[in-house]
DNA sequence: AGCGCTCAGCTTTTT
DNA sequence: GCTGAGCGCT
């Protein structure tokens, strides 16, 4: 346990001022790299060390679960780990889920599941189906976005304003969507916030309990809070009025998710007695990077005017690369990494490659694989979004919550257990369910479907399904979560489907299911019916950034958005082109354009020592090549901070023009022809076994099951495999 | 009901 | 270029 002296010694005067501003509302405007996380953790430690509060009277809201975990780890270092664990730290969504779990149980409400994005989308599709609306004319995505926006403004289905024909469609879908959520005991992401607010509204004594408990409330990344989160904070902070928010309006990049930059800009209006403290000294980046970032952001109008300062050295100029196409861009990035590592100047873990859209990772990945450089990809297809994982989770979800019809349908459509139950059957089930105003799952479980017009065989299949559901539910009181899960996988036919499969993708799927099972084991100390809901909450709320691995030595591939809050010695900002940064969807609108600029600013300021910026004149998009020009944002970086990189020299791997690229596969390779069962070695992935071979003219495409990295599909001509 | 083929839309960013 | 939804055939 540190003494107060020691805690404060590690801080500059601005930071000390923030840490010791104990009472009342405090706004900390913290520029990038100004030690904002440090201030937050040290302040919490200070409050505890000085006896202002017990750990469990402190609330800390962070943007990601990872940030919450790191905060707890740092507190554990500053204080005693057993003390630190009592601080409530988490995301808004996570904290609301926990509050609702506890309070709903106390009120005798039924348990709930959290519908993620994909579930929500499926639900919208089901509603469209029911209303006989064409999902091609009315994009489920767009409808869902409108519904979410409405929820964020607390507009009820009944009062949805109609100004266009599309609004009319939304207005029809929205009430059904809400009804179905309710019928399924399901909450979507927005509901976690709205239902918590509603709970506080309806039961003031519950709110008061939390107000009393949390004497000190901290909100990180306050610039990215939305209206509902703002209301939650306001409600909770009304108790002791000790609200400490930290943020940077210049780093507000989640407007599209209804984040409202005005929450931070108007903080002083909401809390007139608030102290405002600016942390403007940057400790992270070289003076060059700080100056460049400052010039970029200065062009924005919607901001608090200020200048970033640093005492760091000038450092290296920013390298700017004009590339012919996206392949050359990827090649240059990879070549640069290779050289710097080869010279012993850097390690792989020092590098991050940042891009605007997930799709851009593809050529970069390919180049990294070719060069044998290990990397980790953040974003893209996430573990919990994989098909087989969602199917397995659907099984667990209907076990915990038989009313969950979206999951039931998923099980019917995607597991052998649902064979013989098709669309027609589902439609008639829906009709019966609507008549009884009951979820299908409950009707099914309690065998109330005898009445409907189903033929003998279909009815039999449904009865088998219902029996399974009932038996699993009985078993949930007897078996551990993971034992029950294994049994469900067997009996639903998923094990048989994947375990003995030869298709490498299925082998992959089975591995993922095994991994899911081992994650579930962490909850085995609880009875299955308690452990599984907690596990499911986590599955719905963790993000990829939470899984980011700092220990292993590899290059990080990540979007600008996901990189917020992180830092790396060397950062590559790729695809800095009109249409990408700023994105074409934002170019029309001034406010959105400013957000794009902030995004670029966030990217720049992730770098500690070195920045490379690249753009390409031609880029593959949707399989066809299109022209692009450098981003307008580059014009804001003073020339003296830039260094134009020359043409790349031909090195380890050739530069392929678009025409050459299609011919690439035909290049004959003098290697051994691979056959199934051969043991091979790959520079990045290590040992593996060939599980599938596809002969191409002059080449082979093989699937290799690697011991440590799962199954990958590789082209022999590119992958540089050695046969053992 | 299930399989396989075709075609369209997709990609902004994510709790 | 890929995926997933829809359609038509068995």
Minimum CA–C1' distance nucleotide for A423: B1
Whether the beta carbon of A623 falls within 7 A of nucleic chain C: the reply is: yes
A326-342 helix and A361-371 helix, angle to the nearest 10 degrees: 40
Query: pLDDT band for position A193 (50/70/90)?
Result: very high
Shortest CA to C1' contact from A253: nucleotide: B13
Q: Indicate yes or no: strand C within 7 A of the C-beta of A51.
A: no
Token digits of residue A304: 């608090």
Q: From the candidates A221, A260, A538, A544, which is the catalytic residue?
A: A221
- Is pLDDT larger for residue A2 or for residue A17? A17
Residue A716 has pLDDT above 70, yes or no: no
Which of residues A620 and A544 earns the better pLDDT score? A620
Q: Does nucleic acid strand C have an atom less than 7 angstroms from the CB of A622?
A: yes
Are A541 and A116 contacting, i.e. CB atoms less than 8 angstroms apart?
no
Contact partners, residue A304, CB within 8 Å, separation at least 6: A29, A249, A265
How confident is the model over A327-359, as pLDDT tens digits?
899 999 999 999 999 999 999 999 999 999 988
A551 Cβ neighbours under 8 A, 6+ residues apart: none
Q: Is A69 a catalytic residue?
A: no
Query: Is A251 annotated in the active site?
Result: yes
Is the pLDDT confidence value at A378 over 90? Answer: no
Range A280-286 average pLDDT: 93
- pLDDT in the model for residue A279: 92
Burial (CB < 10 A; 0-12, 13-18, 19+), residue A584, is exposed
A695-703's contacts with Cβ under 8 Å and 24+ in sequence apart are: A696/A665, A697/A665, A697/A666, A698/A665, A698/A666, A698/A667, A698/A668, A698/A669, A699/A665, A699/A666, A699/A667, A699/A668, A699/A669, A700/A673, A700/A674, A702/A674, A703/A504
What is residue A656's predicted lDDT score, i.e. its pLDDT? 36
Per-residue pLDDT averaged across A13-30, rounded?
92
Mean pLDDT within A526-541: 85
- Percent of chain A whose predicted confidence (pLDDT) is above 90: 39
User: Any catalytic annotation for residue A712?
Assistant: no
What was the pLDDT predicted at A572?
A: 96
Q: Rounded to an integer, what is the distance from CA A654 to the centroid of its chain?
A: 35
Name the residue with higher pLDDT: A290 or A164. Answer: A290
Cβ proximity of A321 and A612 under 8 Å? yes
Contact A62, A312 (CB under 8 A): no
Res A669: pLDDT: 29
- Per-residue pLDDT at A704 exceeds 90: no
Give nearest nucleotide to A362 (CA–C1'): C1
CA-to-CA dists, residue A122 to A180, A340, A569, angstroms: 11, 47, 42
Kindly report the bases of strand B lying within 7 A of a protein C-beta atom: 1-2, 8-15
Cα–Cα distance for residue pair A640/A292, rounded to 1 Å? 10
Question: Residue A156 contacts by C-beta under 8 Å, 6 or more apart in sequence?
Answer: none
Tokens of A68: 């919450």
pLDDT at A666: 27
The pLDDT, as a whole number, for residue A349 is 92
Catalytic residue, chosen from A15, A36, A336, A356, is A36
Determine the pLDDT at residue A369. 84
Rounded, the Å distance between the CA of A432 and C1' of B8 is 34
Q: Given this model, what pLDDT does residue A653 score?
A: 40
pLDDT of residue A452: 58
**Does residue A645 carry a pLDDT above 70?**
yes
The answer to which of A26-40, A373-387, A710-724 has the lowest mean pLDDT is A710-724
Pair of tokens at residue A296: 């970029």
Footprint of strand B on the protein (CB under 7 A): A 63-64, 91-94, 116-117, 136, 139, 141, 189, 256-257, 356-359, 379, 419-425, 458, 541, 543-546, 559, 561-562, 583-586, 621-622
Of A23-27, A44-48, A399-403, give the lowest mean pLDDT range.
A399-403
List the A620 CA – B7 C1' distance (angstroms): 21
Nearest-angstrom CA–CA distance, A116 and A93 = 12
pLDDT at residue number A619: 87
The answer, yes or no, to whether residue A582 has pLDDT greater than 70, is: yes
Among the ranges given (A40-44, A160-164, A275-279, A624-628), the one the predictor scored with the smallest mean pLDDT: A624-628
Q: What is the pLDDT, as a whole number, of residue A453?
A: 60
Distance CA A623 to C1' C2 in A:
9
- Tokens for A26, please give them: 């405090």
Q: What is the pTM of this model?
A: 0.82
| A470-498 pLDDT per residue, tens | 899 888 888 888 889 999 988 888 888 77
Q: Say if residue A663's pLDDT is above 50.
A: no
Q: Is A36 a catalytic residue?
A: yes
How far, in Å, CA of A680 to CA of A682, rounded?
A: 7
A325, A343, A339: which is closest to A373 by C-alpha? A339
> Which CA-bearing residue is nearest the C1' of B8?
A136
């Amino acid at each position: 346990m540190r003494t107060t002296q020691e805690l404060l010694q590690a801080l500059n005067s601005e930071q000390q001022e923030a840490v010791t501003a104990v009472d009342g509302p405090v706004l900390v405007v913290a520029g990038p790299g100004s030690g904002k996380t440090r201030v937050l953790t040290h302040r919490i430690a200070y409050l505890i060390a000085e006896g202002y509060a017990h750990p469990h009277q402190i609330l800390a809201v962070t943007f990601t679960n990872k940030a919450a975990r790191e905060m707890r780890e740092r507190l554990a270092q500053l204080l005693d780990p057993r003390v630190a664990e009592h601080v409530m730290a988490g995301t808004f969504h996570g904290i609301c889920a926990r509050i609702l779990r506890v309070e709903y149980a106390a009120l005798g409400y039924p348990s709930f599941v959290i519908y993620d994005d994909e579930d929500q989308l499926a639900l919208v599709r089901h509603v469209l189906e029911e209303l006989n609306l064409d999902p091609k004319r009315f994009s489920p995505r767009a409808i869902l976005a409108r519904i979410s926006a409405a929820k964020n403004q607390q507009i009820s289905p009944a009062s949805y304003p109609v100004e266009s024909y599309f609004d009319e469609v939304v207005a029809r879908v929205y009430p059904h969507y809400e009804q179905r959520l309710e019928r399924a005991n399901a909450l979507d992401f927005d509901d976690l916030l709205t239902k918590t607010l509603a709970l506080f509204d309806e039961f003031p004594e519950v709110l008061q309990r939390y107000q009393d408990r949390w004497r000190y409330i901290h909100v990180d990344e306050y610039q990215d809070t939305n209206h509902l989160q703002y209301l939650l904070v306001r409600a909770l902070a009304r108790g002791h009025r000790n609200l400490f928010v930290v943020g940077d309006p210049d780093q507000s990049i989640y407007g599209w998710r209804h984040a409202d930059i005005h929450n931070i800009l108007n903080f002083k209006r909401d809390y007139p007695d608030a102290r405002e403290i600016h942390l403007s000294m940057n400790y992270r980046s070289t003076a060059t990077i700080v100056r460049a970032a400052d010039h970029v952001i200065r062009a924005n109008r919607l901001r608090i005017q200020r200048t970033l300062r640093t005492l760091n050295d000038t450092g290296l100029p920013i390298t700017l690369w004009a590339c012919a196409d996206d392949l050359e861009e990827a090649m240059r990035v990879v070549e640069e990494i290779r050289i710097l590592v080869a010279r012993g100047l850097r390690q792989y873990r020092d590098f991050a490659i940042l891009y605007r859209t997930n799709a851009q990772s593809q050529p970069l990945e390919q180049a990294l694989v070719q060069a044998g450089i290990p990397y980790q990809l953040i974003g893209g297809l996430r573990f919990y979004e994989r098909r087989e994982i969602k199917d397995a989770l659907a099984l667990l979800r209907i076990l915990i919550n038989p009313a969950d019809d979206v999951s039931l349908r998923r099980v019917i459509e995607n597991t052998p257990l649902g064979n013989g139950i098709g669309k027609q059957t589902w439609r008639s089930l829906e009709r019966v369910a609507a008549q009884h105003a009951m979820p299908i799952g409950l009707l099914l479980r309690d065998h109330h479907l005898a009445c409907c017009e189903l033929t003998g065989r279909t009815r039999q299949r449904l009865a088998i399904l219902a029996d399974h559901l009932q038996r699993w539910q009985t078993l949930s009181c007897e078996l551990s979560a993971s034992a029950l899960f294994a049994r469900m996988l067997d009996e639903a036919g998923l094990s048989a489907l994947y375990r003995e499969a030869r298709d490498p993708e299925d082998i992959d799927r089975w591995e993922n299911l095994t991994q899911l099972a081992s994650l579930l084991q962490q909850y085995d100390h609880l009875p299955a019916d308690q452990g599984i809901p907690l596990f499911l909450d986590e599955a719905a709320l963790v993000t990829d950034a939470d899984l980011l691995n700092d220990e292993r030595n590899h290059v990080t591939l990540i979007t600008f958005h996901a990189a917020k809050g992180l830092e790396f010695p060397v950062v590559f900002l790729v695809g800095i082109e009109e249409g990408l940064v700023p994105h074409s969807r934002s170019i029309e609108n001034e406010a959105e354009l400013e957000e794009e600029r902030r995004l670029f600013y966030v990217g720049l300021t992730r770098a500690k020592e070195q920045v490379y910026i690249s753009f390409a004149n031609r880029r593959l998009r949707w399989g066809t090549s299109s022209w692009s020009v450098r981003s307008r944002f580059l014009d804001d970086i003073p020339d003296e901070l830039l260094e134009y990189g020359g043409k790349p020299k031909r090195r380890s791997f050739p530069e392929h023009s678009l025409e050459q690229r299609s011919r690439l596969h035909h290049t004959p390779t003098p290697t051994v022809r691979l056959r199934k069962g051969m043991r091979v070695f790959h520079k990045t992935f290590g040992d593996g076994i060939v599980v599938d071979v596809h002969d191409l003219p002059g080449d082979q495409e093989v699937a290799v099951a690697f011991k440590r990295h799962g199954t990958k599909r590789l082209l022999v001509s590119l992958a540089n495999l050695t046969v053992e």
